[in-house]
A and B are shown apart, each in its own frame.
Chain A
Amino acid sequence: MLSRSYGRVLYMTNQLTPDDVKRIAELAHLQLSDEETELFTRQIGDIQRYAERLQEVDTTTVEMNRDKNEPVDRRRTDQVRPSLSREDTLTNAPDGRELTDEEHSGYFRVPRVIG
């Protein structure tokens, strides 16, 4: 198992800013209103400050998520097994119900990707 040391990490003293929150939202494909940005800056800042206490724990020699039980290698034989039909898979497509079989041609339809 990989052993990595994150034992000595500096305190994250820098305050979370609304710009940070907007940047995180972008990474998460979320677009926040000004109100939400303000709210999340405060709330996530609170949680962040609360979580700072973890920095007090000495983890110099500790692995990430160590489990005393060895992970089991779960292989199976390479056999064809039943899986979802294309039809079943497409029944929940967001515009699947409005489209005929011919229109979706067995694929998910998305807005245009190239201008």
Chain B
Amino acid sequence: MATSKSVLDWNIIKIRDAVRSGGISAVEVCQTSLDRISAYDHIYNAMTAVFPDEALEQAAAVDRLSQSDRSDRPLLGVPVTIKDVICSRGQKTTAASRILKDFHPPYDATVVTRLKQAGAIILGKTNCDEFAMGSSTEHSAYGATKNPWNTERSPGGSSGGAAAAVAAQFTPVSIGTDTGGSIRQPAAFCGVVGLKPTYGRVSRYGLLAFASSFDQIGPLTNSVEDSALILQVLAGIDQADATSVAQPVPDYSEALTSNIRGTRIGVPRKMFEHADASIDNDILRAYDAALDIFTSAGAELVDIVLPHAAHAVPTYYLVAPAEASSNLARYDGVRYGLRASLDEADDTEKELDAMYTRTRNVGFGSEVKRRIMLGTYALSAGYYDAYYGKAQQVRSLIRLDYDNVFDGKNNTAVDVVAMPTTPTAAFKLGEHEEDPLTMYLGDIFTVSANLTGLPALSIPAGFSTEQLPIGLQLIGRAFNEDFLLKLAHVYEQATPWHDSRPVLEI
């Protein structure tokens, strides 16, 4: 466990201010972070690549900045790790897949550019499920990441390396991506704060696409305050991403006031009774306790019904794989990544086709193949209407469910919907190996925010009887991240959970 004197126990503002005033050098912060990674990552496997030389060089450059440049940079000297699906120029980025082995992106993702401009130091890439497909970080070409709270447990996924890196205090922030819960579920499993912004809030230029109508980039941090600071840097329109939105970016830190009196919180209790949810008692207990905190702070609970909530998982698992099957068609051994060699038996007339197929066979892992297959099937002639078409219609209905609770007439409207992030705490590594469907069902509370594009946040909300972290999820109106952060901040101030740290193994 880090001693309380460690700079890695500090929040982002404290690190930044100390670097700004010269109290500590960016190089020293960076080295502390790198040392911690090399001391512990052999156990947790949260990192797919670490760039010590470049990071220290970046840090030294920060230390040389003029006083006025220093005060302009909101993340001055703050060490950051990035999920292995986000490109940074010249730094190995593989989506935890063999098919992108040795891929060195020729450009920075917009979020990376923004972080660097803000003075942050990029230390390395974090482990994830291959192409962000999975909820356990077991489907990685680099092997599974282990949960810092219990090494027999999964850190969740797909941003499991990111969540583990923050929980183990490698870096105070890690940037993840969320297509069906991939920021929020690992945040819940590892006891950290995870924010999926509204679809369009953060540019995805430079993100290796999984499902383009769902994917969104967001921060994992130790506190809501830190999330607000990071979102401030990431958010905004980008000419390089036509799906990013020109919506004004509010001051997220300023939004963290304590008054939530009169806030109407939607409680979709009927959803928890659904058989698929098979929700643990520990989770319900933590959820009810969290609602009590909000009511003590002056919020009002409103029972709501989301009639199509039970259909969110099948809808997601038809549409997202369909988009994935199309997005991943680009990995064919021609322009980047792996190219499988041909063998004598290959038909010489069809060498190119054989190369495509062989490359994809060797390059993709089983979960990615399964989803490409499922998506191809959902889009194929004869099945398109029944699967893809039907699922996209149900998606509209799920969206309408949320429109109705947020815009409700006759004073029934709520400001936010609260539900558990996950039906259980972290499951055991290998638990879902044989039966992927049981793992998919665990996404029941997270996928709706991706199907609808709405912002959602997971915050630490206690521990299970097995001492595993539990998450509380808040889902808000589109572009209402400031409100979600405020509510989460009030909760955080009233509870001790976000200050709990796992005792790391050596």
A109 (CB) vs chain B CBs: closest residue? B334
- Judging by beta carbons under 8 Å apart, are A43 and B394 in contact? no
A62 and B239 contacting across the interface, CB-CB below 8 Å: no
Chain B neighbourhood of A94, CB < 8 A: 333-339
Any B CB within 8 A of the CB of A25: yes
- CB-based nearest B residue for A4: B389
A36:B369 contact, CB within 8 angstroms: yes
Instruction: Decide if B387 is an interface residue (CB 8 Å cutoff).
Output: yes
**Which A residues lie within 8 Å of B318 (CB)?**
51, 54
In the bound assembly, the distance between CA atoms of A53 and B358 in angstroms comes to 36
Among the listed A30, A55, A91, which residue makes an inter-chain contact with B390, where contact means beta carbons less than 8 Å apart? Answer: A55
Q: Please, which residues of chain B bring their CB within 8 A of the CB of A59? A: 390, 393-394, 397
Question: Contacts A28-B325, A50-B437, A51-B314 known; A9 to B349 CB distance under 8 Å?
Answer: no
Are B360 and A29 neighbours in the complex by a CB distance under 8 Å?
yes
Q: Interface 1/0s, chain B 184-221, versus A by CB < 8 A?
A: 00000000000000000000000000000100000000
**Chain A residues near B376 (CB, 8 Å)?**
24, 27-28
List the A side residues contacting B314 at CB < 8 Å.
50-51, 53-54
Binary CB contact string for chain B from 355 to 393 against chain A (1 if under 8 A, 0 otherwise): 111101100101001101110110010010111011111
The residue that A84 contacts in the complex, of B106, B342, B373, B392, with Cβ under 8 A, is B106
- Residues of B close to A29: CB separation below 8 A: 329, 332, 353, 356-357, 360
A6 partner, pick from B390, B435, B453, beta carbons under 8 A: B390
If A12-B386, A94-B333 touch, whether A47 touches B374 (CB-CB below 8 Å) is: yes
Complex-state Cα separation, A94 to B386, whole angstroms:
39
Chain A, residue nearest B451 (CB): A65
- Within the complex, what minimum Cβ distance (angstroms) separates A26 from chain B? 9
Contact partner, A47, options B104, B337, B437, Cβ 8 Å: B437
The answer on a CB contact under 8 Å between B357 and A30 is yes
Q: How far is A3 from B289 in the complex, measured between Cα atoms in Å?
A: 45
The answer on a CB contact under 8 Å between B334 and A65 is no
Residues in A neighbouring B373, C-beta threshold 8 A:
21, 24-25, 28, 30, 40, 44
Interface size of B as a range = 35 or more
B452's nearest neighbour on chain A, judged by CB, is: A67
- Rounded to whole Å, the gap between the CB of B484 and the closest CB of chain A is 19
Q: Is B396 a contact of A62 with CB atoms below 8 Å?
A: yes
List the A side residues contacting B246 at CB < 8 Å. Answer: 72
Give CA–CA (A91, B89) in the complex, Å.
12
Contact A9 B107 (CB under 8 A): no
Question: Using Cβ atoms and an 8 Å threshold, which residues of chain B touch A92?
Answer: 103-104, 106, 335-337
Which single member of A57, A72, A111 contacts B308 (CB below 8 Å)?
Answer: A57
Q: Is the CB of A30 within 8 A of B369?
A: yes
The answer to whether B351 touches A111 (Cβ under 8 A) is: yes
Known contacts A12-B383, A30-B364, A63-B396; A115/B106 CB under 8 A: no
Query: B387 is contacted by which of A4, A10, A51 (Cβ under 8 Å)?
Result: A51
* A53 and B311 contacting across the interface, CB-CB below 8 Å: yes
Q: In the bound complex, how far is the Cα of B373 from the Cα of A21, in angstroms? A: 8
Q: Which of A48, A55, A68, A74 contacts B403 (CB 8 A)?
A: A68
Residues on A with C-beta less than 8 A from B332 are: 29
The residues of B with any CB-CB pair to A shorter than 8 Å are 103-104, 106-107, 213, 239, 242, 245-246, 308, 311, 314-315, 317-318, 325, 329, 332-339, 342, 348-349, 351-358, 360-361, 364, 366, 369-370, 372-374, 376-377, 380, 383, 385-387, 389-397, 399-400, 403, 435-437, 440, 453, 478
What are 11 residue pairs bridging A and B, where the CB atoms are less than 8 Å apart in the complex? A12-B383, A47-B436, A57-B394, A59-B390, A92-B103, A92-B106, A93-B336, A94-B335, A111-B352, A111-B355, A112-B348
**A residues lining the B interface (CB < 8 Å):** 4, 6, 9-10, 12, 20-21, 24-25, 27-32, 36, 40, 43-44, 46-48, 50-51, 53-55, 57, 59, 62-69, 72, 74, 76, 84, 88-89, 91-95, 108, 110-113, 115
Extra pairs beyond A63-B393, A64-B393 (10, CB < 8 Å): A6-B389, A44-B370, A51-B391, A54-B394, A64-B395, A65-B213, A84-B107, A91-B106, A92-B335, A112-B351
